[in-house]
Copies of this chain bind each other. A is one copy, B any other.
Amino acid sequence: MSHPQTTFKDTVFHGKSILSVRRNTIGKTTLHTQLNQLRSTGRYDCFKLKWHPVYDDKSMGWPVPKHLFWDSDIGKWIEAACYFLHHEQDEEIDRAVQELVQMIRGAQGSDGYLNLHYTVVEPEPSKRWSNLRDMHELYNAGHLIEAALAHHDHYKDDLLLEPMLKYVSYIRETFGPNKDQRHGYPGHPEIELALLRLYTVTGYRDAYDLARYFLEERGNPTGQDGKHYYDWETEQRGESQWKRPDPYPESRAYWYAQAHEPILQQHSVEGHSVRCMYLLTAVADMIYLDLERQAGRRDLLPALDVEAWKTAATRLWSNMVDKKMYLTGGIGAVKQWEGFGIDYFLPQGTDEGGCYAETCASIAVMMFAERLLHLGGTGNPDRRYADVMELCLYNNVMTAMSLDGNAFTYVNQLASSNKDLSARSDWFEVSCCPPNLARLFGSLGGYVWDYGTEGNDAYVNVHLYATAKVTFDVNGKPLTLEQTSNWPWEGTVKFNLSAPPSTNTTIRLRLPSWSGNQYTLDPAPSQSNIGVSQGGYLTLSPSYVSANPSFTISIQGFKPRYITPHPYTNQRTLTLARGPIVYCAEDTDNSWESNHFKDVAISRSGEVKEMPRVDERTSEDYVALQTKGWTRSLSQWDAKQDGESPALSASDESFGEERDLVLVPYYFRANRSGKGHMRVGLLDRCQ
């Protein structure tokens, strides 16, 4: 299993491709501004276990105190920092990581327990694990485990891994199927995927068993004393069911945490979208480990009903992508539970009923997608997953950070409104998203491709295009594959392979769905040398590759195209896209519209012009688009008296003068002056 968090080290981005530029910005700027935020907010020193005034602050939604996620903020930042340190030393970052690790070590109890809240704020031992549903102990542990893995990988010591293994051992004793163990699982999944990575890296079997227990036990209606675990622990706390957390619109809304029924029985993605994606990422990891067991590489693991789990994972993926995903790769329409609404409930903005599309959620979709890419076997990656991974990356995820790397979004609406302008913030009280962006970009190289060897055979499956180089060993000698491209603006990607002699290298290149499988390959192959796999990857045979270690693919699909959400969303809008980039209208580029482009229509028959541009401040290239637009007349409604019957004759839909409309990439929004008006889906002029 090659997790991106491990394999990213093999990949170096260079040149001015957008991924490279963005990763650089995070390394040079974002890590530092985030470190400053950690320091100024009290997070940095929290593992000194002194009192901080914020611990008295009860203003967050019940029952979550503001500092509850601080452990994870630290963990995620350490993880990100280590990813960047791997490629480039940075003294301040390095010093901070080391100091944080010392503080974390000092905060661990002698029994292995390690948690800020239950050590400082509610230190009575009986409070530990008393509220798995809400209190994020296991979530925080998960992020610290991930930090430890990154730290171990970079520093090659166990300063953080050792206390985390001790903590995991303690957790493993606490939770499990035995009579004297608790039959619980985290309200916010995360530790499962961390544990499976921990097992993959260290072989520590308890980590696997614990993760598997959490996944298999989740949603058991009679898990503890014949009761749902969250019911049982609620009773243990002496609380009634109606003492429901603020995000619960109803009592026992365990679907909020995907614990309403066992995972294998779930037919739709429900509740908090980040929790759901972290959970399913772990499910995919568990499936993969069983496939490895079947292939004889994990002899000691107990068998899994892998078909049932695969069916559940792909069923939930399809429900999400087909019915609960925005065109930008965002998921989660409902603010109250930061998650999924009913099927096809995908309003573009809060003035239409919601649009959450949390940054972390799309990052987690990328994680889930990356894991799913492995389940078909190395010879059969499925572009459905990589397409969505790329869609998330370039749109919902990349829009979450300003070009200068100093400002972020938590929520990524598709349309602004007066109450929710298109804008970014320096930091958040619940600040999961900014360090998550840093983690993702730190390990981004691991998402670009996967690869492996067996004897003299090697393969590289290329999922993302950029300018980047990967190096890995074949029989102890380095194989290097370099790609050079101006993706996502152009589809021409030049490859250069340097492999040890007698290596049989197969290269698979994703043909994105939107390419319509249209491409040219130079040098031209013979029929027998290539093929397009069922999963949509162009497979270059070892014979083609060895004859042509330098080759160029030109992928089509960079003509602007109209995309539209499913009709059952009631949107009836058109959006412009080009390659993987989804576009939006911003007020800066356009004549003033009073209501966030809500009345602006475009037409499928309208000609679209491309306008290559360079951003003034960052010198970053991008392609803007221009087409014809019209403003819908609301005169019928304006003419109505206030409070007059709604059931009057409808005028024909009418639209104002045709005019030019300029659109920019969605990720680019809110980087210039402007009034924060923005919209992705514009009215379909229907002609």
Contacts and interface: CB of A to CB of B under 8 A. Distances in A.
A351 B641 CA distance: 32
Interface in A32-86: 62
Interface in A207-259: 240, 242-244, 246, 249-251
Contacts of A352: 344-345, 568, 570
B325 A646 contact: yes
Interface in A318-360: 318, 320-322, 325-327, 329, 336, 341-345, 347, 351-353
Interface in A635-687: 637, 640-650, 652-653, 684, 686-687
Contact of A353 (B342, B513, B571): B342
Interface stretch (A187-195, A384-392, A468-476, A546-554): A384-392
B566 A645 contact: no
A405 interface: no
Contact of A563 (B353, B563, B649): B649
A618 B242 CA distance: 49
B566 A650 contact: no
A393 to B, nearest CB: 12
Contact of A646 (B314, B322, B343, B634): B322
Nearest to A633: B567
B351 A645 contact: no
17 contacts: A242-B244, A242-B246, A321-B644, A322-B642, A325-B646, A341-B353, A384-B643, A385-B643, A388-B645, A514-B645, A514-B648, A563-B650, A564-B650, A567-B599, A577-B647, A653-B686, A686-B686
B684 A647 contact: no
A182 interface: no
Contacts of A572: 570, 572
Given A317-B643, A598-B568, A687-B687, A648 B513 contact: yes
Interface string A380-411: 00001101100100000000000000000000
B570 A645 contact: no
B243 A646 contact: no
A250 B250 CA distance: 10
A164 interface: no
A604 interface: yes
A491 B144 CA distance: 76
Nearest to A241: B62
B598 A384 contact: no
A62 B251 contact: yes
Nearest to A643: B318
Contacts of A388: 643, 645
Contacts of A437: none
A677 B20 CA distance: 54
Given A384-B644, A388-B643, A574-B650, 19 more contacts: A240-B243, A249-B249, A249-B336, A320-B643, A321-B644, A322-B642, A326-B646, A342-B353, A352-B570, A384-B643, A384-B645, A387-B645, A391-B647, A514-B645, A562-B650, A565-B646, A568-B598, A572-B572, A686-B686
A625 to B, nearest CB: 15
A8 B582 CA distance: 62
A110 to B, nearest CB: 35
A644 B345 contact: no
A14 interface: no
Contacts of A240: 243
Given A242-B243, A353-B345, A567-B634, A645 B321 contact: yes
A621 to B, nearest CB: 22
A318 B604 CA distance: 37
A632 interface: yes
Contacts of A637: 566-567
A166 interface: no
Nearest to A684: B653
A561 interface: yes
A642 to B, nearest CB: 4
B641 A384 contact: yes
A123 B251 CA distance: 28
